[in-house]
Structure 1
Amino acid sequence: MMANSELTLSPECIAGRYHDAAITRPGGHAAGRITFSIHTDMAELEAEWRVFDDCSLNSLHQSFDWCASWVKTHGSELLIVRGAAGKEPLFLLPFEIERGRLFRTARLIGSEHSNLNTGLFDGRDGAFCAECVLALASGIGRQLRQFADVLVLERTPRIWRGAPHPLAALAGIEHPNASFQLPLLGTIDRTLTQLNAKRRRKKMRISERRLAEIGGYDYVIAREKPEAHALLETFFKQKAARFEAIGLPDAFRQAETRAFFHALIDSGADEPDRLLELNAIRLKGEHAGRISAIAGLSRKGDHVICQFGSIDEEIAAGASPGELLFYRIIERLCREGVALFDFGIGDQAYKRSWCTIETRLRDIFLPITLRGRAAAAVFRAVARAKRWIKANEKFYAFIQRKRRLRQMSAASADEP
């Protein structure tokens, strides 16, 4: 069923089939003609969607439960494109429509808080052929014209887990930020051989000694939902204090964003996978119960992404509790058979100190109407400007200072 009443579908869309181009799948197997269907109800695609979820090459950010949590808390206007060859589903691309004053944008669901976007592709035959993807892009563009002006696929990898990603066949520009990963090699000792193991262990011992001086700590994994919700609220407070201290807007300040992360906790993903697992360093002794560091993790198979992290800036910050927490997390995940720990998007010193893999990401802007051509040009210009600013350390520092001054001025104006 086409559930979203805000989308007016033509009779052809309601029929849901669009013949585009003959393609050949990798290995030379004829796939026949690609057909497209457009949907506004996630539920009618759930069975197929969850089959796509099982493919390790598809990001958990496009998984059914992740997208359902986002839609539930944001009231998104959905447009899900399904592609098939005969009766065989080939891909799902779940978009939400953003309506601006000048143009309409189709963007992958929840892109604002995604570390990695892949869409959902059938990975059984390996990488999609370039001809297939170009045909898909052409066909999708023709069918989406009545709903959107520009198609935005942000933070997509060219290579993911050693294989070319299907979307790499489309033209794109480099995203301003890369993401960073650490392969896990079965034990913490073997994993640390990729890094400066001696220095890493020394930092861990110093952290433990400093925390012991104020009573010690417990490494906590929130297994029960009430504890996880409480830790999430503590994270929001710690992160808000951090953003305020450095003069940046709080990325988690909006009520729907906070509701989304709470919804992830409540999602019933099968163990060991979890959409959001809260890990923490909890102090003992004179500060018993105080949360010194928090990390929010998402797990899909043998891949774990750190979605966010924070520390208590007031107590024991000099003990580097965040570094200690990552050490304990990675140590545990090695025992649990995880193969890749992903620190997520954003170039920060602590990520580089832990990681041996830097994954460059791309943004793809596909115009699908005449107005969309102008929109795509604007998106590309903004992305290039952001990349240039971040590459220019002096100018980036200047921008950060200006942002801090504006925030301080706004805070002063709000005071009675």
Structure 2
Amino acid sequence: MVDVTSNMAAPRRVSKAAPASIAVDVVTDIEVIRATVAAITPDMVFTGYQHPAFLSAWVGSAGCAPMFLKFAVVGHGPVLLPLERCDNGVAGYCGGRHANGNFPVGRREDIAALSDAGETAILSAIKAAGIPANSLFLERQHAKWHNLANPFVFASSVASPNIALSFSIDGDLDTVLKTHGGKSKRKKLRSYRRKLDAKGSVEFLHPVPTEQVSRYLDRFLALKAERFRQAGIANVFGDDRIKAFLLDLFTDGAPDHTLHGLTLDGEIIAVIGCTRHANRMTVEFGSFEPEHAQLRPGELLFFSAIAHACETGIEIFDFGIGDEPYKRSWCDIETVHMDTTIGLTLAGKARAFAQTNRSRAVRAIKSNDRVWSAVKTARRALARR
């Protein structure tokens, strides 16, 4: 496993030069926010979670009250932090728990200038801006994106509790399999496929056609809700606003946001949702029909999606946030995201302190296989009561 240490922020030196002048514009008007999203152009730097399609769908359907912050170092253009403010007074990236690899939006030279201004100048500008929130929680951030440092990853930032796993695609599927468990993996998946074929007519969809997105999304939400219930995990897809967001995103956001599916005699038995940004494909979510679990429909769909990625110019296949054995069987790149908390009021500073320590504690638990296994077992037992 390769640990992408370049995504871990090194402490920044504090410059002894005069601090850079940074202006911060706080935008809460919804029409101005929509116009700001529409003004994001392909030549700007952004991840799939700050993609205009993602932000447009989220602002239009789900989440809390949008609150965008625009930073500009004197002599440079704006750098956008697309945030939302929730009822508890905390502001974080639009998308909440559905945004899993965040980075500010702007032109390379403007983001670089903001990074060069340094942590002290950025924090001073934030605290002087009169932001209507008690704290900022900037979670699951890339410390670097396309070799550009994130100006909002500070020396005080901490590693996010969950890692992300991915692998590079260097050629066709046969080439990929030679690097990632070729013969045994292909043999196992062929065995599952033969058994599935014996059950009926099998079809893979890459991607799901627009007119079928609603049907596949409904199926995913039902399967995931039951899986969360059995595991004793809160359903992050349970809010109707999240369904509206996903329907908007995967209907209007293609080809950058697509569903992929596996059917057996027309019945949907596995679904994944993916984001494509540049030459990277990230799996955002997935689920499968437990009745067919012994035939590994989820693994078969991933295998087919990876084959499709090899054929369509994808260079990085990213399984997204979370550490699972099936991901480890493919992946050799481990990415650590960073969390930054900034308290703006006395109550906000207390929240920021608690959140930072919570992140450290959760990461420590999940890094210990024995402890994390015990936690999951206890959670499932409580769910059965």
Q: Scaled by the length of structure 1, what TM-score is found?
A: 0.80
Greater gyration radius: 1
Q: CA deviation at 1:296?
A: 0.7
Output aligned runs, 1:320-331, within 5 Å: 320-331=296-307
Establish whether residue 398 from structure 1 lines up as the match of residue 374 from structure 2.
Answer: yes
2: distance between equivalents of 1:148 and 1:125?
Answer: 25
Per-residue deviation, residues 78-115 of structure 1 (Å, max 9, x unmatched) = 22111234674231011111232xxx211111122112
Question: Highest relative contact order (Cα 8 Å, sep 6+), 1 or 2?
Answer: 2
Which sections of structure 2, spanning at least 5 residues, go unmatched? 1-17
Contact 2:100 2:141 in 1 (8 A): no
Alpha-carbon displacement from aligned partner over 1:263-285 (angstroms, at most 9, x marks no partner): 21232x4x6x323x1111112xx
- 1:52 and 1:122 in contact (8 A); partners too: no
- Corresponding position of 2:262: 281
SS at 2:285 equivalent: strand
Tell me the residue number matched to 2:329.
353
- Tell me what 2:158 maps to: 173
Match for residue 199 of structure 2 among 189, 214, 231: 214
| Structure 1 match to 2:3 | none
**Alpha-carbon distance in structure 1 between the residues aligned to 2:104 and 2:25:** 16
Q: Give, in whole Å, the separation in 2 of the partners of 1:150 and 1:243.
A: 30
- Quote the offset at 1:116 in angstroms: 0.8
For residues 290 and 342 of structure 2, the distance between their equivalents in structure 1, rounded to whole angstroms, comes to: 43
Residue 227 (1) aligns with residue 212 (2): yes
Residues in 2 aligned to 1:358 and 1:233: alpha-carbon distance in whole angstroms: 32
Alignment partner, residue 157 of structure 1: 142
Helix, strand or coil at the partner of 1:79: strand
Does 1:96 find its partner at 2:73?
Answer: no
Q: 2:351 aligns with which of 347, 371, 375?
A: 375
Q: Which amino acid aligns with 1:391?
A: S
**In the aligned structure 2, how far is the partner of 1:254 from the partner of 1:206?**
38
| Counterparts in 2 of 1:55 and 1:171: CA distance versus 1, 3 Å | farther
Amino acid across the alignment from 2:138 = L
Deviation at 1:75, TM superposition (A): 5.9
> Alignment RMSD, CA only?
2.5
C-alpha distance in 2, partners of 1:162/1:89?
A: 20
Distance of 1:126 and 1:191 partners within structure 2: 35
Q: 1:304 aligns with which of 281, 287, 291?
A: 281
Is the deviation greater in 37-46 or in 347-356?
37-46
Alignment partner of 1:79 is 2:91 = no
Q: Whole-Å Cα distance in 2 between the matches of residues 256 and 198 of structure 1? A: 44
Structure 1 residues 133 and 45, CA gap change in structure 2 (3 angstroms): farther
Mapped partners of 1:181, 1:210: distance in 2: 28
How has the CA–CA distance of structure 1 residues 75 and 105 changed in structure 2, closer, same or farther, with 3 Å as cutoff?
closer
Residue 339 to residue 166, structure 1, CA distance change in 2 (3 Å): farther
Compared CA separation, residues 203 and 68, structure 1 to 2 (3 A): same
Q: 1:132 & 1:222 partners in 2: Cα distance?
A: 43
Q: Distance in 1 between matches of 2:313 and 2:133?
A: 43
SS at match of 1:378: helix
Distance 1:46 1:22, change over 3 A: farther
- Number of positions where the alignment pairs a residue of Structure 1 with one of Structure 2: 367
Percent of aligned positions that are identical: 29
On the 8 A contact 1:182/1:340 being kept in 2, the answer is yes
1:332 to 2:317 alignment: no
- The alpha carbon displacement at 1:291 in A equals 1.7
TM-score by length of 2: 0.86
2:363 and 2:191 map into 1 onto residues whose CA distance is 37
The residue that corresponds to 1:242 in the other structure is 227
> Matches of 2:109 and 2:276 in 1, distance apart?
21
Q: Any residues of structure 2 matched to 1:13-92 within 5 Å, and which? A: 23=20, 33-41=21-29, 43-44=31-32, 49=37, 52=40, 54-55=42-43, 57-74=45-62, 76-85=64-73, 88-92=76-80
1:385 to 353, 358, 361: 361
